[in-house]
Amino acid sequence: MHTLTERDIRASLINVSQRERASLLLPALDELAWDRLDYLGWRDRKQPMVGCVVTFLDDEPTGIVLRQSEGRIRARPQCSWCEDVTLPNDVVMFSARRAGKAGRNGDTVGTLVCAEFQCSANVRRPAPPAYIGFDQVAERERRILALRGHVDNFLRDIRDSA
């Protein structure tokens, strides 16, 4: 992931109003390990049910704001982005308003995602060997590419629905 500034991040948000964009609390950007992130995801500290995700689509930073569902998930869900089945963290349902007119009309899209957006760390953990000769490095790279594809597709769906 390329390093982003506060200005880059705020300008990238495609499914919020100017007021909502300005009111978001950003993470401590200088403390992030940008080279180990496949996307930037964080929770707004003053709005605990709000999360934000920024990635690069078509070489441009593109971000969305998500809202966590208030309902409880009964079974142990799998994150739709990192697809980790041995997660050390919670997975929650988030919904995001679509960009443009569709979003202003109330159209939303939902997904199950790691509650604190730990997907980048999850896909980098060594996978348990599935068989003799299992290539853990290749599996790690496959999982990283799959994560990037899932995040990109979700954000494209939000962006391109306008």
Q: Encode pLDDT of 12-48 as tens digits.
A: 999 999 999 999 999 999 999 999 999 999 999 999 9
DSSP state of 14: -
Nearest to 100 by CA among 19, 47, 161: 161
Residues of the chain with pLDDT > 90, as a percent, come to 73
Q: Is the pLDDT assigned to residue 129 strictly greater than 90? A: no
Give the mean pLDDT of 82-110.
87
- Tell the residue number behind the tokens 């070489």, with chain if given: 59
Q: What is the pTM of this model?
A: 0.90
pLDDT tens across 56-94, in order? 999 999 999 999 998 766 677 889 999 877 766 688 999
pLDDT of residue 127: 79
Q: CA-CA distance, 137 to 53, in Å (whole number)?
A: 27
Cβ atoms of 116 and 87 within 8 Å: the answer is no
Q: HEC profile for 80-94? A: CCCCCCCCCCCEEEE
Q: Give the chain's mean pLDDT.
A: 91
> Which ranges constitute the DSSP H helices of 59-128?
100-104, 119-124
pLDDT of residue 130: 81
CA dihedral 142, 145, 148, 150 (to 10 degrees): -60
